[in-house]
Amino acid sequence: MVAGERAGAVGGEPGIGATGEPQLGATGEPRLGATGEPQLGANGEPRLDASQRRVLELGLRDSAIVIGAPGSGKTTTLVQFAVDRVHRLGLDPSALLVLAPSRVAANRLRDRLALRVDRPTNGPLARTVTSVAFSIVQAQATLRDEPAPRLLTGAEQDSIISELLAGAAGIEGGPLWPDQIDAEVRALAGFRTELRELMMRVTEAGLRPGDLRTAGERYDRAEWVATADFMVDYETVIDRFPSPYLDSAELISEATRSIADGAPLGALELLLVDDVQEHGAATLEFLRALAGRGVTVVGFGDPDVAAATFRGSDPLALAEFGRRLGVEAQTITLDTVHRHGDEVRGLVTEISQRIGASGVVEHRKAAAVAETVDPAGRGDGSADADADADAGEGSSIRFVCENTPARLHRRIGRVLREQHLLYGVPWSKMAVVVRSGSLLAPIERSLALSDVPTRGSVGSRTVQDHHAAGHLLTAAAVAVGAEPLTEASAVDLLTGPLSGLDRMALRRLRLALRHEELAGGGAKQGTQLLYEALLTGVGFASVDSTPARRAHRFATTLAEATRLAIDGGSIEEVLWHLWDRSGLAGPWASAALGHGLAADEANRQLDGVMALFTAAKRFVERAPGAPASNFIVEARSATIREDSLTPTSAGEAVWLGTPNTVVGAEVDVVVVAGMQDGVWPNPRVRGTLLYPQEFTQRVAGLPVEELDARASVLSDELRLFELAVSRARSLVVLAAVDSEDEHPSPFLRFPSVPPVETGAAEHPLTLRGMVGHLRREVVAPAADAPADAAAALARLAAAGVPGASPDEWYGLGEPTTTEPLIDLSDAEARVRVSPSQMETFEKTPLAWFIDKMAAMPSGIAANVGTIVHGALENTADAREPSDVTPEKLWEHVDDRWSELTFEAPWIAERQRRAVDTLVNGLSEYLTDFLRSGATLVNAEGAFEVTIDQVTLSGKIDRVERTAEGEIVIVDLKTGRNAPSQPSVDQNAQLGGYQLAGRRGAIPGVEGTEVSAGGALLYVSKGVRGKSYRLLTQKPLTDEELAGFETRVLGAGHGMAAAVFPGVSDLDERDPKAGFVYRIHLVGAVSA
């Protein structure tokens, strides 16, 4: 439950008949239809069966438990029972209260009860037990003139526990945990979850830490002894808070004690409890206290669909209802299922028969009487030629498999669109249920791509899991000083929604800042410049571009938020300033009112932002004087997904959630996804660190040694499966991946599950998918392709469907220009050719053109090579081997090492080891060079050679003169893959350098000097005992030089052309065979 479910008084008397809760019928919680909705009679009243009518025949003071299978109309009977008591027996609505197991379930009941009861009430008739308990405790505090307690949410409690375990809560000493629960284990979120669970079980049982310690000593559980000591420390921390705080279990226990002590109950006479199987021991004690005060209690439930057993709910409570409450309680079993037909009912029955009995089994015999509804909505159940199944056609149960999760999600999307488009099922009447919350995000993304709108509870994710809210939280963290601005966070913020830059705009901005830096004589990298500009708030002002203006606006906003925080602004004020200045509210609100992917995404982002502001508001209310940075720490450390009262978008959408989110729901179509072996069922025994389940069993006096933990886990998994399947009226779709790594769940072997469907869908039933399908048929038709594909495309194009018109197809438009890069018909025109680029052009002109016109940013390896080349250049004045030691070379490398940006420290360390190898090889080469008596003619010397209209130009790493007086040209290579000797003989770089030497274009070299050829110096790996390797190109003859000039002319004329062909058969390891080049070789039109 969440803070905010509060109650007031009835008629001026403190009690539980009125509430201060907001009316949440329109908060955007899932409006999944009411359960067991029977047909209406002639008078407009629900037509109840005989077993349901027996419930209405109960006397005013008769307590009872009503047990029924899924879809037997338990909730419908509950609502009709309330209406009957008010309308027929004259019960005052203020004397009636309905308890639901969760806020979501309570929301579903509130509007329904209000409409049916049709009487003025002091507040909603349906509430959660936490809400009612809070109102009682709050009223008692008011009577005693004490501050009202506040509800400690699960996320807040987890944060406190985390600090205590880490020793950061100011408590000296601490529990002595067993050896197996070391610091690493205690840092795990799973351990904190079990710890919270055990603490809750102790509180629900009405026990104290001392009782837990005694149990630990008695049953040799050192974990319980340590937890008892931890609970003492925990209570010490809670007691330090300026106002009293209670978690949900403590709140219910405190309310129970107040009721037993005679707390006013207002006019309450009748309490109806829906889904009794979802309530735990604390709630049952609460009901017992109310029953002891004379309140009539009637419960409704099914032990076979309990979704919260791992949190302490007790399916046995239905069989022992009267004894647990201390009253005489009749048992009434509903014997008819109204929700679905025989096929779904058959599967539900098979599942329930495998569940361990919870004291009652009669309800499992209920028969289905609902008309068999064709799952596809066809009245006659006739086959549909377009259906994508050979098996299960016309059935209420389908089983679909794919070999990857992505394909399965697309298949699920198609099934949902098929139901919506072909058979008219509203989006809100369909649900996708998965076993674990971790599976929700990938399915949500895939369904969005299939144009299936989805929704789920805001509380299904932490605040920082939402993209926009996460960026807003990061900006606020920087503004309030909770987190320092780093280069990584600067890039993240600039490319986030608050700033609005995309990656291309950021790259342009980085290059502009880098250009300014180099022009001013600096050497800082672009990312560092982005960081400094955002940190100072003024660094973008000197760049005149749209990205710079956006970045400058955001930097100004961040600086203003920082000043606001320094002046004492609350976290709410800081967040609002950042959000308001972003200008996103208007555009996103407009987008959210539309349709399609953009509208769904806008709705999700706005939901996340609203949840963040709600959490900030609650933080300020809870701790008005606390620093804003405390909220950041709390939000960052939160691993508990917190329930929220935040209003969410209320459009038509498929509900996406876990089994516990569909308790009490009913829809037409249910897709049970993620049915994998090891996932559903999850055979892992719960609570193996602190044994909370065993503690509950010990307290209940059960023979723990005789209980089978794994059988209990299997029953729990079957309950969740039955809960999910039984929500469907018309169609159940069971979906699984079947591959070498993943196998379908054994739950899919029930006799009622049909064979897996075969055959693939033609297209995903989206306009985008249909356009792609038709385009493929038009461009590359299959043998059996329909002849009217082009006509269909024309019809879609006329309707304005994106991508249907050939005018929009990639590659079919006329080129923007057919002019050559350089017009060589102009006698003054010149083409510059770099020797280092000649080989690329000769290998694949397309790759040369892409590198020339849209080069990718250089990677770490290239930047490291540049620094090593710089170290070589700095040795030009070396005269002794002591001048070229590895240590000396490292001095040059270290001077520029800060220019490199690494994603992680271990990557930087790996690169330093690699550079050390290069430095050692280079040092040994230079040492051998100096000892040989050779001299350096020049380093990084520039040259130009003009051949007709082509100018060959570049820089040479080293030009050396041997002791014998011969000229050797050396080109340093820092890569690992050395070419073969034939490739060296044809190397364009060395050939170009030799041509420049013969033409006298190299400074310090006469054209008539004897040449010893050229050499490629590899320093990453040596040969023959050396740590370097020289690959030599022999001196070129006059004939070979003339041939090379012809090569230069050919490359120059090709580089000046208008067309640059690609090569498709390059070796896959060749850098020029990468995706950035291959994408241009893909056919112009594809689907």
| Residue stretches of the annotated binding site for ATP | 68-75
Tokens standing for residue 362: 């009669």
Q: Is 643 left (phi over 0), alpha (psi -120 to 50) or beta?
A: beta
Which residues belong to the annotated binding site?
Answer: 68-75
Whether cis (ω within 30° of 0) applies to the bond prior to 744 is no
Using only C-alpha atoms, what is the Rg of the chain? Answer: 37
Q: Where are the beta strands (DSSP E) in 525-611?
A: none
Cα angle value 303/309/310 (rounded, 5°): 165
DSSP 493: H
Backbone angles phi, psi at 746, to 5 degrees: -65, -15
Tokens standing for residue 461: 């994710």
What is the Cα 791 distance to its own chain's centre?
A: 41
The residue type found at 21 is: E
Distance CA 36, CA 600 (A): 30
Give alpha helix (H) positions in 333-439.
342-353, 405-421
How many CB atoms sit inside 10 A of residue 38's CB? 20
Distance CA 803, CA 1054 (A): 35
The residue type found at 257 is: R
**Which helix or strand (DSSP H or E) is residue 943 part of?**
strand 935-947
DSSP3 helix / strand / coil % (the chain, rounded to 5): 50, 15, 40
Distance CA 282, CA 256 (A): 8
Cβ atoms of 673 and 415 within 8 Å: the answer is no
**Which helix or strand (DSSP H or E) is residue 663 part of?**
none
What is the Cα 78 distance to its own chain's centre?
A: 39
Order of strands across the sheet that contains 654-657: 397-402, 728-737, 667-672, 430-433, 654-657, 454-455
Q: 3-state class of 433 per DSSP?
A: strand
Cβ atoms of 993 and 1014 within 8 Å: the answer is yes
Beta bridge partners of 297: 271
Closest C-alpha among 953, 936, 933 to residue 944: 953
Calculate helix-pair angle for 487-494, 503-519, nearest 10 degrees. Answer: 130
Cβ atoms of 635 and 434 within 8 Å: the answer is no
Positive/negative CA dihedral, 531, 536, 537, 542: negative
What is the Cα 416 distance to its own chain's centre?
A: 22
Q: Which residues contact 813 (CB under 8 A, 6 or more apart)?
A: 807
Q: Which residues contact 1065 (CB under 8 A, 6 or more apart)?
A: none
> What residue has token string 């280079």?
922
Q: Which residues contact 355 (CB under 8 A, 6 or more apart)?
A: 304, 715, 718, 719, 722
